[in-house]
Amino acid sequence: MKQIHYISKDILDLPKIQQIITQSYKLDLSEEAKSAINKARKYLDDKLAESERPFYGINTGFGSLCNVKISKEKLAQLQENLVVSHACGTGAVIDSEIVKIMLLLKIQSLSYGHSGVSMSTVERLMFFFNNDILPVVYEQGSLGASGDLSPLAHLCLPLLGKGEAWYKGERLTGEEILKKHNLEPLVLQSKEGLALLNGTQFMSAHAVYALIKTYKLSYMADAISAASLDGFDCNLSPFNELVHYVRPHRGQIKTAERMLDFLSGSEIAQQAKESVQDPYSFRCIPQVHGASKDTLRFVYKTVKTEINSVTDNPNIFVEEDEIISGGNFHGQPLALGMDYLAIACAELANISERRIYQLVSGLRQLPMFLVNDPGLNNGFMIPQYTAASIVSQNKQLCTPASIDSIVSSNGQEDHVSMGANSATKLIKVVDNLATVLAIELFNASQALYFREPLKSSPFVEQLITAFRTEVPVVKQDKVMANEIHKAVDFINQFTIDEELLFCS
């Protein structure tokens, strides 16, 4: 049987979105959503029939052309012109999974009955989602205010038989897509083009995608650092709960608890230590990883609010008999949040690289660069260089986009969030974090090899055993890029139970 998610006013959150996307749920509208959509559309039609009053973007031009009145017979053309003219995307093509999340979030936002779209438009969006027809959307073009105009225009072009979309591995024109499914191009009614293009779904889909990956990588950072702790023969005293209850940041306490849990039963951890203290990159794991966890929770709260909101303009309030032009399309909450999340991810990578550096330093009875016959073999010398390069790039990517603004639309749109730039560079930082953690795991596995016959904890041993089936211990120099790529694949394919994934 097909699994169906009913669009309604029920809160949409990360676990549910992950379930919908990964388990290929189909979408349908609840009766509540159908009623809200139909009621708002009827209200708008009645209002336009009985009134000559100008309503922004409904019977006027857009942006700085907001004072130009449009005749009733040209309202449909006005909306199609909007979509076509705003499709100005450039750069890389966005990952199809993010595009699918965009479709889901756009449908959710339109379902509340404050946008005035017709049922046929929402149904066409759902048809695309349910049949994995994923429009070609470009990375560049949105200022993150007035909504994600350009990316959302590309998202909606195929509804009109224009633009391009991916379908069953093929990149087809919008016209070809509609012909394959015996569909006619959608004819937009008043306000519909504006409702489709105004909104923050490009930014928020990136944020959702990044958050899901970051929750996983936050867990992996703890698991991998546990392996590194034993690889470097560290003390466990810094993880004692007494230390953390006198500075009770939630993420810090959670991390310390998790580290002790991960290393429970470790022979290496239980042996006497020669060093009284360990470097900060090991000793301060709770404080650093914990701070990133707390950031993750904050950003999740912001994004959860956003994806359960109405973000187009103007907003229709049927019961109050109001059509109000506001600014819910402005992406500032997301822009700030995604910049903050990028910094939190960069710091997880930063401290990971420092642990990599310590592991190859020849200290704590480990050989230089974690290899036999160092000198003849270079071992793990250059993977640390790679990690350092990536960490440095992250620092460059973490310059906040949200502090920037460029005037647009002839001065009408004089402050923008640049949240789309926050979104796209956040994805790069998250991917970079995965690579650095993969390199750390590669190093930790090698370091633990030199601790044998002593064993780490059952948890760490199970992780390392699974890893070594993909990336074996290095006995002599080889092409390390191949091993790093396999390590990244291991991280990306690693699965974590939902109750563990979102509990940080």
By annotation, the residues acting in catalysis are 56
246 phi/psi in degrees, rounded to 5 = -90, 0
Q: Rounded distance, CA 18 to CA 367, Å?
A: 43
- β-bridge partners, 377: 374
Which tokens go with 450?
A: 């030199």
With contact defined as beta carbons under 8 Å apart, do 314 and 323 qualify?
Answer: yes
Pairing of strands 315-317, 164-167: unpaired
Neighbours of 350 (CB within 10 A): 20
With contact defined as beta carbons under 8 Å apart, do 155 and 163 qualify?
Answer: no
Pairing of strands 138-140, 164-167: unpaired
Q: Rounded distance, CA 224 to CA 238, Å?
A: 17
* Of 311, 408, 313, residue with least CA distance to 55: 313
Q: Rounded distance, CA 173 to CA 160, Å?
A: 11
Q: Where are the alpha helices (DSSP H) in 360-418?
A: 381-397
Query: Interior CA angle at 369 toward 366 and 371, to 5°?
Result: 75
Q: Rounded distance, CA 164 to CA 175, Å?
A: 8
With contact defined as beta carbons under 8 Å apart, do 268 and 314 qualify?
Answer: no
At residue 156, what is the residue type? C
DSSP string, 135-172: E--EEE---SSSSSHHHHHHHHGGGGT-SEEEETTEEE
Which tokens go with 15?
A: 């676990």
